[in-house]
Chains A and B, each alone.
Chain A
């Protein structure tokens, strides 16, 4: 069964620090990777998509993909309390599989 694994957390970081969220996936054929943010009681919101090895930056967010290691990460620079949420990783080729999410807590 194809899986996407994430540490459930919570990952606690102080305001202004870099938060590093990690995700591994089992389907070596995966071509597409996504990070979603989900606030408590709300729906998932797309943050980043990444399709090729390396880094992709968008504002304070950087997604990193290493297909050889089957590893994708999300870095959040200058973390803010408003970044406190659950972050979902998703990966796939013919089918998209979601991880169960990492809860991030950013303390003022």
Chain B
């Protein structure tokens, strides 16, 4: 039981490049989330998926898109990376939509945009 997994662990992009961050969970959770964490800013919600087939914007969605591929997988895409998107990205999942149930986090992706 791996919990929440994310790939890649590290990535360096040049401004304007695109990439997709992958997330998968094996806990049969309904809801999945993408956060970014910056020093002094705490965790900020980018997008979430309450259940398979639905996605919604969070607090900081600009510059990102998501796909809930199936119940297990939720990907985050940066279409044209900017230095302001340098951050640590965490995927999380929960049985029900937060805050009604506990969220479990993946190991994170450290992204640097130069």
Interface residues of A (CB under 8 A from B): 30-32, 34, 36, 42-46, 49, 88, 90-96, 98-101
**In the complex, what residues of B have CB within 8 A of residue A90's CB?**
99
**Chain B, interface residues (CB within 8 Å), range:** 10 to 19
Which A residues touch B90, using CB under 8 A? 43-44
Among the stretches B11-19, B66-74, B78-86, B104-112, the one at the interface with A is B104-112
B98 touches A88 (CB 8 A): no
B43 partner, pick from A30, A93, A98, beta carbons under 8 A = A98
B residues at A contact (CB < 8 Å) = 40-43, 45, 90, 98-100, 102-108
Q: Are A96 and B99 in touch, CB under 8 angstroms?
A: yes
Taking the closest CB of chain A, its distance from the CB of B58, in whole angstroms, is 9
A91 to chain B, nearest CB (A): 7
- Provide the bound-state CA to CA distance between A68 and B6, in Å: 39
Interchain nearest-CB distance for A85 vs B (Å): 14
Determine if A101 and B103 form an interchain contact, defined as CB atoms under 8 angstroms apart: no
A65, chain B: closest CB distance, angstroms: 13
B41, B45, B107: which contacts A43 (Cβ < 8 A)?
A: B107
Cα–Cα distance between A46 and B98 once the two chains are bound (Å) = 13
Q: A34 vs B92: C-alpha distance in the bound complex, in angstroms?
A: 14
